[in-house]
């Protein structure tokens, strides 16, 4: 492995990717490192936010049974009627838990982005309409290019804690647990020209690597390669144009499952079509062997990629990538 080759791929991707793709184990290592850096970035920013949270609020005690149970001073081994009606709840643990949920998603988003862009590159490579073996090879090549294209995200991971700390000057939060949770999450997605500039510059850099890798390594035609590069730019830079960075707060587990299911559908479309059609023909005369048309296979792979895209959105990838 030559570090200079990988560095040149980031600076002059068209030249560096000519007849070359990163090694798969290096690409996987890059993804692991990027996932860790993403989580650390959001975690550091979250620590700054939680540090600004203070105070408490009086709430109904969830451990106290309903009033009708305790009427007449009834003693019970099941119900604790001596429990106070209200308790004090500190705002800081609520904010910390909300930030922790964001951090756990941040650890998965770079992987989801790489799989999404790798799938896009596979679809436009000209090898996605044939056998699953050819499609898997194309997907692997796309993932290698996408992993390297994700490296400029380090700029955002370094800038986020700084931008969040700067935005906390004069910051305040509501005097309710739900309000504190929402405010703490919102504070993780800073506004301002400096943050927007970092996001846009890193997105342009990523798009340039995707374009160079698609053209030189996967031999993709100019227009499809440009469309994939534009999509990768939009997935990264879209957060600056959306409120709270496009944060949805959707269940992250569902998003991860959809990403994985979509990848399986993308890679195994030919086998799925052949097996399902063969079962449909059981009981009919003639051959049970079926050969799906290339366009039909490609359409199924596109459906799998669409599932990956939905999973990426549910992971709040637009906000956290």
Tens digits of per-residue pLDDT, 93-102? 999 999 999 9
Calpha distance 128→71 (Å, rounded):
71
Predicted confidence (pLDDT) per residue in 258-277, tens digit: 999 999 999 999 888 888 77
CB of 184 closer than 8 Å to CB of 99: yes
**What's the token pair of residue 24?**
């798969």
Provide the 3-class DSSP secondary structure of residue 23. Answer: coil
What are phi and psi for residue 90, nearest 5 degrees? Answer: -75, 145
pLDDT < 50 stretches in the chain: none
Calpha distance 281→302 (Å, rounded):
25
- Whether the CA torsion 50, 51, 52, 57 is positive or negative: it is positive
CB of 149 closer than 8 Å to CB of 115: no
- Specify the pLDDT at position 96: 95
- Specify the pLDDT at position 45: 96
- Specify the pLDDT at position 69: 67
Calpha distance 163→22 (Å, rounded):
33
Task: Give buried/exposed letters for 10-46 (b at 16+ CB in 10 A, else e).
Answer: beebbebbeeebbeeeebbebbeebbebbbbbbbbbb
Half-sphere exposure of 242 (CA within 13 A, CB side): 19
> Shortest CA distance to 280 belongs to which of 295, 292, 290, 294?
290
Q: For tokens 């009627």, what's the residue?
A: 81
Residues sharing a CB contact under 8 Å with residue 153, sequence separation 6 or more, in sequence order: 34, 37, 38, 110, 202, 206, 236, 321
């Amino acid at each position: 492995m030559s570090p200079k080759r990988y560095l040149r791929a980031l600076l002059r991707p068209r030249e560096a990717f000519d007849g070359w793709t990163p090694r798969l184990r290096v690409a996987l290592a890059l993804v692991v490192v990027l996932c860790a850096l993403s989580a650390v970035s959001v975690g550091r920013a979250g620590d700054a936010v939680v540090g600004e949270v203070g105070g408490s609020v009086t709430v109904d005690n969830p451990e106290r049974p309903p009033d009708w149970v305790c009427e007449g001073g009834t003693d019970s081994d099941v119900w604790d009627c001596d429990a106070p009606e209200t308790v004090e709840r500190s705002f800081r643990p609520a904010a910390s838990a909300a930030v922790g949920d964001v951090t756990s998603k941040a650890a998965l988003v770079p992987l989801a982005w790489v799989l999404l862009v790798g799938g896009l590159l596979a679809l436009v490579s000209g090898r996605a309409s044939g056998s699953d073996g050819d499609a898997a090879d194309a997907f692997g090549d796309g993932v290698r290019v996408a992993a390297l294209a994700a490296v400029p995200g380090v700029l955002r991971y370094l800038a986020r804690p700084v931008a969040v700390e700067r935005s906390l000057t004069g910051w305040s939060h509501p005097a309710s647990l739900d309000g504190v949770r929402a405010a703490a999450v919102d504070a993780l997605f800073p506004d301002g020209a400096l943050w927007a500039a970092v996001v846009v510059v890193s997105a342009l850099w990523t798009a340039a690597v995707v374009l160079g890798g698609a053209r030189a390594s996967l031999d993709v035609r100019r227009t499809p390669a440009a469309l994939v590069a534009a999509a990768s730019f939009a997935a990264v830079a879209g957060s600056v144009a959306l409120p709270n960075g496009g944060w949805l707060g959707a269940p992250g587990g569902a998003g991860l499952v959809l990403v994985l299911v979509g990848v399986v559908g993308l890679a195994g479309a030919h086998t799925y079509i052949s097996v399902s059609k063969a079962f449909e023909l059981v009981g009919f005369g003639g051959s049970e062997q079926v050969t799906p048309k290339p366009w039909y296979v490609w359409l199924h792979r596109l459906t799998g990629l669409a599932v990956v895209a939905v999973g990426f959105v549910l992971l709040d990838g637009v906000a956290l990538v």
